[in-house]
Structure 1
């Protein structure tokens, strides 16, 4: 099995929203903000190459939203979904599976595009099965007012309408032998965190359970999380296990750090080392 980092670019979000109740004087030490209080965030995906399967975990924001929408997020950087796939030696048509940790626009927007000319929507990965779970799908397609702006029907519904959508059932054998799944309900309902055995280690694709190294302390919880107290419990459970079993944490959103390990300290679980996936 091989792992390929698929960078899809950067975007900006308000630092206060990303760190919730934590004061700026603390979070800006790890995530400095610009003059508009915006911090830069990666949209870093992961491709698993295993035999005849090519499994893409998340796919970034995409490019089909209008200029007004995109202007709110200050997209930047040279990397792109298709450019990164090409760099790894693949095209969108090669992907067999698109595993979506959750359906917020910055995680699944790259999976659907407009057809040339007629304005109809089609899948970016025409030969792939798109994977979610039934609970999260219901949550996303019948959204609460708090999350409605993050669940865009043009990102989501074409997966089902095309016949390419399948659901993972937590109570049945997984369709993926390549990784286990940790289900988290603090950020959104039934977000899926893949934990991938790789070269004798376990690599956890952190999605929005832990956006960056700066979010390691337990109270550093995003203002976007729908159930922040649940996030606290999930982070504590996950990070204690990660420290005990020497997990490698792979960050989807950390603009600087691709991976890290963690360790127990007198202050709780804290950073041990940062490095790139290629160093594993």
Structure 2
């Protein structure tokens, strides 16, 4: 398929797409975003992604100017143009264009919100990351405190995470970020879980983490299938002594961790990691089957 971009509802090839150099997302990172993927022509948990986009917008006083349904329909329209069943869309919404073509950080006197949607064919992770696992370094760059910048605002400014990745040794696939107290926060783009003595641990919802949609599903699956779960803060020392570690995100799904720093874990994940990965796949399958039946909007 060809990659496509939609800028304020105008679909074009990436090289033909245009956005003002005075756009506040470009100038100041004054933007929010969501990433979603499809399975067999169904965007997974699309309503939840757009609801989170709206919460992010409300948190920064950004007027989306569109209903949730309008945004969803535009995403499906873009995907239909691409013609592939399994795709990835990154939707970014900036506050708009600076008025009078002036570079001013003040948010007043801007145009209406600018929408940019990027459509790509979904690139599946190499099977080795599920058969073996992902390797993670622990970066020195600290995760932004929620008191400074709420991580549940999916901001277009990702410099904090980028700095963490820049300092991570090339021998690792990604990084884990800590709080100033030395507690595990999250990865650059994923939530982190650990298992010790058959108990699954994740950070409290009000901690310095994004409450990921995949994470939310895993918490529901733990409750439904009587898997012991505890929400509490844990240190990097505890993480290194865990029996299993896995990460979650919309594109990674449930991915085992094989190495953190010099510490190694069971290849392919332990029993609990594997069980949750299977339960998650079943959840996706059931969701998509129901979505096709109840809401036959696809491409």
Q: TM class by shorter-chain length?
A: under 0.3
Q: Write 1 or 2 for the structure with the bigger share of helix.
A: 2
Which structure is higher in RCO with an 8 Å CA cutoff and minimum separation 6?
Answer: 2
Name which one, 1 or 2, has greater alpha-carbon Rg: 2
